[in-house]
Amino acid sequence: MGWAERLAQERRSRLAAERLLEQKKRNLTVVQQELDRHARSVTDRILAQCEAASSARSEAETIRERHSRTLAELERAHAAAITAERRLWNSIETIRDGFAVFDPDHRLLGANRAWLRAFRGYPEVRRGISFGRLLEVCALNRLLELGEESPAEWVARMAARWQARRIAPEVIRFRDGPWVKLIDRRTRTGDMVSLALDITQTVEFEERLRKERSRAEAASRAKSAFLANMSHEIRTPMNGIVGMAELLCGTDLTEEQRLYAETIRSSGEALLQIINDVLDYSRIEANRLALHPEPFDLERCIHEVVMLMQPGARERGLAMLIDYDLFLPTRFVGDPGRIRQVLSNLLGNSVKFTRAGHVLVRVTGVAAEEGRQQLHIAIEDTGIGIAAEQLDNVFGAFNQVDSAANRRFEGTGLGLAITRQLIALMNGEVWVESEEGRGSCFGFRLTLPVAEEMSDPPRRPEGLRHALVVDDRLVNRAVLERQLTALGLEVTLCRSGREALEALAGGCPADLLITDHEMPDMDGLALAETLRERDWPGPILLLTANPASVRVADAAALSLTVLQEPALRRDLMRRLAELAPPPEPPEPAPEAPSAPNGQRTMRVLSAEDNRTNQLVLAKMVKDLDIDLAFADNGRIAVAMYESFRPDLIFMDISMPEMDGREATKAIRALEAQTGRHVPIVALTAHAMEGDAEGVLAAGMDDYLTKPLRRAAITGAILAHVPDGAHAPDGAGAAAPGAA
- Whole-angstrom distance, CA of residue 380 vs CA of residue 441: 4
Give the pLDDT score at 13: 80
Q: Using an 8 Å Cβ cutoff, are 381 and 353 in contact?
A: yes
- Whole-angstrom distance, CA of residue 167 vs CA of residue 85: 27
Give the angle 65-69-74 at the CA atoms, nearest 5°: 145
pLDDT at 668 over 70: yes
Q: Helices 710-719 and 611-620: crossing angle, nearest 10°? A: 70
Rounded average pLDDT over 297-319: 85
Question: How many residues in the chain?
Answer: 739
Residue ranges of E strands in 579-727: 602-607, 626-631, 648-652, 680-684, 702-705
- Report the percentage of the chain scoring pLDDT > 70: 87
Give the pLDDT score at 12: 80
pLDDT, tens digit (0-9, with 9 covering 90-100), for 429-452: 998 888 888 889 999 999 999 987
Rounded average pLDDT over 232-261: 80
SS3 228: helix
Q: Lowest-confidence range among 5-9, 314-318, 701-705?
A: 5-9
Q: Using an 8 Å Cβ cutoff, are 651 and 608 in contact?
A: no
Q: pLDDT grade, residue 678 (50/70/90)?
A: very high
Q: pLDDT grade, residue 457 (50/70/90)?
A: low
SS3 501: helix
pLDDT at 22 over 90: no
Q: Using an 8 Å Cβ cutoff, are 348 and 415 in contact?
A: yes
Give the pLDDT score at 379: 93
Strands of the 540-544 sheet, one edge to the other:
490-494, 466-470, 512-516, 540-544, 560-564
- Whole-angstrom distance, CA of residue 436 vs CA of residue 434: 7
Query: Helices in 293-446 by DSSP H: which ranges?
Result: 298-316, 336-352, 415-425
pLDDT at 361 over 70: yes
CB contact set of 98 (below 8 Å; sequence gap of 6+): 111, 112, 114, 115, 116, 117, 118, 180, 194, 195, 196, 198
Q: pLDDT grade, residue 738 (50/70/90)?
A: very low
Q: Using an 8 Å Cβ cutoff, are 412 and 274 in contact?
A: yes
Q: Using an 8 Å Cβ cutoff, are 518 and 472 in contact?
A: no
pLDDT at 115 over 70: yes
Give the pLDDT score at 57: 79
pLDDT at 598 over 70: no
pLDDT at 401 over 60: no
Rounded average pLDDT over 697-718: 82
Closest CA to 703 of 637, 651, 628, 626: 651
